Amino acid sequence: MTNQTRTASADELESIFQRELVTDRWAATETAYALAVRYRDLGDWPRSREWVQQCLRLLEGFPSDTEEQVATSRTSVGGVSLPTYLHSGVVQDRFGDLG
C-alpha cells in the first residue's frame, strides 16, 4: 500500500483496490469507499455511484453487529479520510441517492 496520507489519483486507487481485492477484502472495501469519495469530489457522479455500489456489495460480506466489526482499519486511503465506522448505513448517509 502506498502512503495512506498522500493524495493518490483515482487510477492509483483503482490499482490499489484490485490488489487488495485479492489479498484483503476489508481493505478493498475501504478503498472502494475512498474511490466513491474521490469521484464524487471530481464531480464524476456515474463513477462515484459505481464505487458506492461496489462498496455496498463488499460490505454485504461482512458482519456488522458490533462496532468492532465495522471499525475501519485505516484513517485514510490515498488522502481520502475514512469514517471511523464503515457499514451500509454510513455509506447511504454520506452518498444518499448515489447508493
pTM listed for this prediction:
0.92
Residue whose grid cell is 500500500? 1
Domain boundaries, the chain: 10-98
- Three-class SS string for 28-39? HHHHHHHHHHHH
Which residues in 1-99 belong to E strands, given as ranges?
76-77, 80-81
- pLDDT tens per residue across span 1-56: 444 456 999 999 999 999 999 999 999 999 999 999 999 999 999 999 999 999 99
- pLDDT tens per residue across span 59-93: 999 999 999 999 999 999 999 999 999 999 999 99
Mean pLDDT (the chain) is 93
Nearest to 41 by CA among 89, 8, 74: 8
